[in-house]
Structure 1
């Protein structure tokens, strides 16, 4: 039904469908590592690295869905992960996409 003629031939739409079922956190594929115990990620927590086992559920073009003890907003470490160990101190550096102060105008 289209009683108001709001939908017309040739129009394109973005549609979002919600289906019941499990929801999984998505992580950057670069964050995943493997060991004899399985796949895992490093979570940034209280200035330290915490290893979190992460079973891969599905790979997508924009991330990997995992079954893991992660909550919305958890910070997952993606750089320098090969040098980390449980409880290692982690320093967060500015990186691409971070909010930075624009450079000052040149003075004459």
Structure 2
């Protein structure tokens, strides 16, 4: 009986500790909605750099939700910008911000 009680208390302690240490997930704040302005489309990548693995190609004219910029200003194909964290069609990744333009959302 003592062994069962010890196992039960250990289980409850682990359960309480796990719940207390769980990371709280806050909803992401959408900073802007922007339109892709790149003739052949814009590569969605897993990390904010040109060498990162490609996830998909966002077509020219499509809209992405942005969640902030990262890194230093770079120049790519004559465009100045930073890498931008975006969501497009339920896919999260990074695109080069030099090929994004602001749009008015009402």
TM-score computed with the length of structure 1 as normaliser: 0.22
Normalized per residue, the structure richer in strand is: 2
TM-score computed with the length of structure 2 as normaliser: 0.22
